[in-house]
Amino acid sequence: MEKRFIMEWKCGECSTWNISDTERTHQMDICQCGKSGVDLEEHLTRTIGNISENRMSEVLDGGVMKEIYANTYKQEKRGILGRIAYKLSCLFKS
């Protein structure tokens, strides 16, 4: 049985909160300003634009949500190399 995940994410451009769900496969959820988006799959997440915060939760039996993690990105406007460097630095923090 596939697991179901829900991600709440905040656009770094217009500061609105959006929701992506793994039940909608191959669906890029775009912010209302059109500058950020998330495609949330069970084993893969694709993002475009500037996502400043996100929270990932797993939906358990009975609709109970269990928070897995929450992130706040410290650098607002950075390119792909900045995102990679930031994620690597998070992996190697002790």
pTM over 0.75: no
- Distances from the Cα of 74 to the Cα of 34, 46, 52, 85, angstroms: 22, 19, 8, 12
Average pLDDT for the chain: 81
pLDDT score at 76: 46
Q: Could you tell me which residue, 31 or 3, shows the higher pLDDT?
A: 31
Please determine, for residue 90, whether its predicted confidence score (pLDDT) is greater than 80. no
Q: Could you tell me which residue, 15 or 75, shows the higher pLDDT?
A: 15
- Distances from the Cα of 4 to the Cα of 46, 61, 72, angstroms: 16, 10, 22
